[in-house]
């Protein structure tokens, strides 16, 4: 028994002991979530409350499409084309945007009202506009990041900081997986993943919730096929032995989620050797379906195949599908750039909505269309627009929402979101809410505190307002 000669020594040594107890409690708490799920971390789990959506297809337009050429009609820009911005906007103190001698640039495309709802949509999207009554257009998105990299990280993880989980990882963590033979979270791109795996990372969540990058052409997933010299039975024996070693190793490291993820991924990869090639094999699709998505030729072929595959993923229980259309960065020739990019996606996305509706999947599948920011109402170079996060557009469809509605607005020049402003955290809270997840309750203990996708944001949760009555 230790005897302390005076109160000072007692406080000094006792305080160290209490600190050790606190540290032990923190370490135990951090591993608690992983331990609860270690037996089957991807097992389906009930939502916090009944949701209207079960799956998400996240359509990300990498590079920043202009809201002024797509979904936010601003006649004032045509009226003031070539003139200086109004004094009130020129005085707006922004280091990133030169407003002092900036000249207004008119919209490069015409707008029309479509559907019974009269949604105003650009002529860039003749096919998508046919679904105007199914779209909820948000014209008041905003944040404060001008650089592609940090803005894309924010859009996918709710924060500008690296190392945080992506939306798909949070959804998978919250709801689990409905497919035995495919990942719960799949990401695809028509070019390259700018920012790499940070676009679909699990961050500080257990590694099993990481998204899986899949290719639309050739081998869908690298290193998936069995060695030609190995039979199925031999591979099963080898996998069983590897898993046994991993489980033994895990018992001495209960807080290391990577070992659970490795065991789970080996097993999933074994099952995917049949499921993944079948997923991208479109030979069984009818000619009418292929034409609907535009997969056989022309500019829509690649993204069309990605959209068709996303429908097949949803049918097979994939929870979260992330499709990336690259190259919307229109600094020099906004009109030319957006014409090219719109031809790639208009027919495929319209076809996806039609196909989901025909198969009874649209009500349970939430579609979200967005870029990392919009473009300035002022001219850059000869005919371009710069990055602009203060007001831009997104849209949602399916997932039980009413459609044919518009939320929020920007000012007359499309410069600032001014009505019913929707931050990225609000959008994420809305997506989770439609899935039946309370964004304030979906959390993970890491480095001494509970973290969540929406952090301290998400106050303008639109989910209840969007649901069809």
What pLDDT, on the 0 to 100 scale, is given for residue 381?
84
Query: How much is the pLDDT for 452?
Result: 97
Domain-embedded: residue 120: yes
Whether residues 180 and 132 share a domain: the answer is yes
pLDDT at 90: 66
Shared-domain flag, residues 148 and 26: no
Question: Is 386 inside any structural domain?
Answer: yes
43 in the same domain as 6:
no
Pair of tokens at residue 185: 């979270």
360 and 420 inside one domain = yes
**Domain identity same for 71 and 30:** no
- Strand pairing partners for 212? 186
40's tokens: 């089957």
Q: What local confidence, expressed as pLDDT, does residue 32 receive?
A: 44
247 assigned to some structural domain: no
Q: Is 60 helix (H, G, I), strand (E, B) or coil?
A: strand
Predicted local confidence at residue 224, as pLDDT: 55
Pair (150, 204) in one structural domain: yes
Taking the CB of residue 43, how many other CB atoms lie within 10 A of it?
A: 10
Residue 145 contacts residue 160 (beta carbons within 8 Å): yes
Neighbours of 77 (CB within 10 A): 19
Together in a domain, 21 and 148: no
Dihedral angle, C-alpha 56, 61, 64, 66, nearest 10 ° = -100
Same domain, 280 and 367: yes
**Same domain for 404 and 459?**
yes
- Domain membership of residue 374 (yes or no) is yes
Residue 151 and residue 87 share a domain: yes
Q: Examine residue 125 and state whether it is found in any structural domain, yes or no.
A: yes
Q: Please tell me the distance from the alpha carbon of residue 150 to that of residue 165, in angstroms, as a whole number.
A: 14
Identify whether residues 199 and 103 lie together within a single domain. yes
Residue 218: CATH number of its domain: 3.40.720
The Cα angle at residue 267 between residues 266 and 273, in degrees rounded to 5 = 90
How many domains are contained in the chain?
Answer: 2
Q: Print the domain residue range for 18.
A: 1-34
Contact call for residues 152 and 439 (beta carbons, < 8 A): no
SS (H, E, C) 422-466: EEHHHHHHHHHHHCCCCCCCCCEEECCEEECCCCCCCCCCCHHHH
**What is 322-375 written as a DSSP string?**
EEEE-----SSBHHHHHHHHHHHHHHHHHHHHHHHHHTT-GGGEEEEEEES-EE
Q: Would residue 229 count as lying in a domain?
A: no
Closest by alpha carbon to 155, among 66, 62, 53?
A: 62
DSSP 164: P
The number of beta carbons lying within 10 Å of the beta carbon of residue 229 is 6
CA 29 to CA 229: how far, in whole Å? 46
- Residue 52's pLDDT is 97
* pLDDT value of residue 273: 58
Q: Report pLDDT for 42.
A: 86
The verdict on residue 161 lying in a domain is: yes
**Contacts for 91-98: CB closer than 8 Å, 24+ residues apart:** 92/415, 96/146, 96/387, 97/376, 97/378, 97/386, 97/388
Quick one: 72 and 1 in the same domain? no
**Six token digits for residue 373:** 């920011």
Q: What is the pTM (predicted TM-score) of this model?
A: 0.85
Mean pLDDT split into 10-residue runs, the chain, 469 residues: 48 42 37 51 93 98 98 96 82 60 92 98 98 98 95 97 97 93 92 85 92 80 59 62 69 65 59 69 94 95 96 96 96 96 98 98 98 95 92 98 97 96 98 98 95 96 90
Asked whether residue 263 is assigned to any structural domain, the reply reads no
CB 409 within 8 A of CB 391: no
- HSE-up (13 A, CA, CB side) for residue 152: 24
The pLDDT tens digits of the residues spanning 303-361 come to 999 999 999 999 999 999 999 999 999 999 999 999 999 999 999 999 999 999 999 99
């Amino acid at each position: 028994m230790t005897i302390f000669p005076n109160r000072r020594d007692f406080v000094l040594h006792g305080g160290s002991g209490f600190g050790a107890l606190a540290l032990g409690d923190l370490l135990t708490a951090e591993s608690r979530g992983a331990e609860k799920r270690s037996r089957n971390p991807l097992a389906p789990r009930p939502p916090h409350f009944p949701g209207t959506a079960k799956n998400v297809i996240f359509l990300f337009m990498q590079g920043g499409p202009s809201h002024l050429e797509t979904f936010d009609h601003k006649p004032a820009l045509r009226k003031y084309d070539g003139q200086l911005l109004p004094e009130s906007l020129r005085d707006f103190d922004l280091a990133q945007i030169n407003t002092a001698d900036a000249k207004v640039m008119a919209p490069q495309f015409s707008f029309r009202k479509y559907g019974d709802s009269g949604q105003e949509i650009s002529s860039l999207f003749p096919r998508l506009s046919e679904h105007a009554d199914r779209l909820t257009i948000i014209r008041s998105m905003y944040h404060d990041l001008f650089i592609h990299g940090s803005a894309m990280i924010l859009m996918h993880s709710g924060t500008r900081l690296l190392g945080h989980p992506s939306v798909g990882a949070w959804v998978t963590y919250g709801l689990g997986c409905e497919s035995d033979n495919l990942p719960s979270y799949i990401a695809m791109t028509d070019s390259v993943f700018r920012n790499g795996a940070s676009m679909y990372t699990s961050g500080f969540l257990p590694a099993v919730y990481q998204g899986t990058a899949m290719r639309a052409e050739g081998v869908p997933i690298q290193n998936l096929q069995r060695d030609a010299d190995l039979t199925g039975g031999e591979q099963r024996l080898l996998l069983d032995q590897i898993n046994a070693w991993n489980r033994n190793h895990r018992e001495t490291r209960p807080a290391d989620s990577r070992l659970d993820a490795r065991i789970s991924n080996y097993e999933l990869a074994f099952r995917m050797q049949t499921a993944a090639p079948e997923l991208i094999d479109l030979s069984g699709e009818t000619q009418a379906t292929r034409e609907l998505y535009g997969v056989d030729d022309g500019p829509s072929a690649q993204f069309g195949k990605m959209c068709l595959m996303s429908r097949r993923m949803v049918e097979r229980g994939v929870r979260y599908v992330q499709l990336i259309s690259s190259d919307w960065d229109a600094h020099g020739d906004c009109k030319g750039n957006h014409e090219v990019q719109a031809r790639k996606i208009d027919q495929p996305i319209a076809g996806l909505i039609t196909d989901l509706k025909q198969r009874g999947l649209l009500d349970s599948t939430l579609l979200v269309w967005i870029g990392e920011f919009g473009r300035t109402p002022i001219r850059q170079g000869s005919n371009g627009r710069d990055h602009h996060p203060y007001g831009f557009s997104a849209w949602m469809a399916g997932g039980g929402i009413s459609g044919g509605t518009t939320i929020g607005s920007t000012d007359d020049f499309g410069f600032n979101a001014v009505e019913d402003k929707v931050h990225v955290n609000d959008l994420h809270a809305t997506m989770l809410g439609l899935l039946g997840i309370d964004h304030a309750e979906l959390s993970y203990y890491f480095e001494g505190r509970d973290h969540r996708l929406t952090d301290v944001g998400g106050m303008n949760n639109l989910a209840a307002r969007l649901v069809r009555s």
